[in-house]
Amino acid sequence: MAAAAAVADRVVGNLRRLDGPPRIPGLDLARGLAVIGMLAAHLFTLPEIDWTDPVTWGGIVGGRSSILFATLAGVSISIVTAGPRAPRAPGRWLAWRALVLWVIGIALILTGVPVYVILPAYAILFAAAIPFVRVRTATLWVWAVAVALIVPWLLPPIEAAPFWDTAPGEAVFLLTGWAYPAPLWLAFLLAGMAVGRLDLARAGVLWVTAGAGLVTAAVAETLAVVVPAPDGYLGQVWRASGHSGGILEVWGSGGFAIAIIALCVLLCRTILRAVVLPIRTLGAMPLTAYSAQIVVWAVWALIALGTTSDLFGFRALNPFWPMTLGIIAACFAWALLLGRGPLERLVDTVSRPRADRLAR
């Protein structure tokens, strides 16, 4: 009886941690949706989205899920560095987190699973955020807009460089996560940091934010249809397709991410936050969940196929639902019984004490 009571107390305490301040349940929901979207992008062969054809709408997760992930990283940085438990030296805290994320990312790449691991790019973005932690919110928006307008013009010649076809180029591509080019993705991180500065406790602020994001996304998607990308360099700059790095993708997917974040926070202000609790627990430990899918993939593929590198062979095993439901169930059980995710706990254990000690 005493053991059962202790377990019940632990579960109640962990539920309170997920529901109460300083945690914002809607952000966990948005992170959970981002993880599920990235699982879908990895485990399905997705069609190019055509808004006039509902059959292709599943392609919405292509590119957008990872951009939502990056935008949420910016939101989290602003909340953590400005909150009552903020690290004494936020720059050093970010630097240590970046290092640990990069190491975890390289370890996942070494599994040979044929996906572009986002964590090295994520690590670079955390390091790049350091100079922006103390700047004004308006300045964050200016920088985010400037990056979103300028960098798409610079990417095509950079990515066309012969260097990428060499062995060192391939290594740099993997070690920097260039599938998610940090110079461009800084726009999403900075926009997220600006959103994190908003008063997310006010419904009016959330509705305006959601509306602005949806309008931005709608305008970009409409322009993609009305003004198709031409051939050549201008077409590369103008593209809207997932992972293209074009202006329309940046603005369309960036606006979509901001809208989803605001709408998730609004939804979790209602009783529905209890209904989506399993997805919220997934989003409360996104690093653990993301890493788990790579590890599970590697083990499953090695047993079933004899190799971890056969993408289409693994997709033919129809792994999405077993992996997704299994990871959600595991995160749900871990969150209720043990609290914080294991990798989240590891990253915080490594980064916070070092940042605080160096600040003394």
pLDDT of the residue at 359: 40
Average pLDDT value for residue range 119-124? 96
Average pLDDT value for residue range 225-246? 88
pLDDT tens-digit profile of 313-325?
999 999 999 999 9
Q: Which residue has the tokens 């400005």?
A: 82
Q: Running DSSP on this structure, what letter comes out for residue 232?
A: S
Closest residue by Cα to residue 87 from 285, 350, 342: 350
Q: Give the structural domain span for 144.
A: 2-359
- Residues 74 and 187: beta-carbon distance below 8 Å: no
pLDDT tens-digit profile of 247-299?
999 999 999 999 999 999 999 999 999 999 999 999 999 999 999 999 999 99
pLDDT tens-digit profile of 37-71?
999 999 988 777 766 667 676 777 778 999 999 99
Whether 308 shows a pLDDT value over 50: the answer reads yes
What pTM was estimated for this model as a whole? 0.92
Cα separation, 74 vs 351, whole angstroms? 17
Number of domains making up the chain? 1
Residue 121, Cα to own-chain centre: how many angstroms?
11
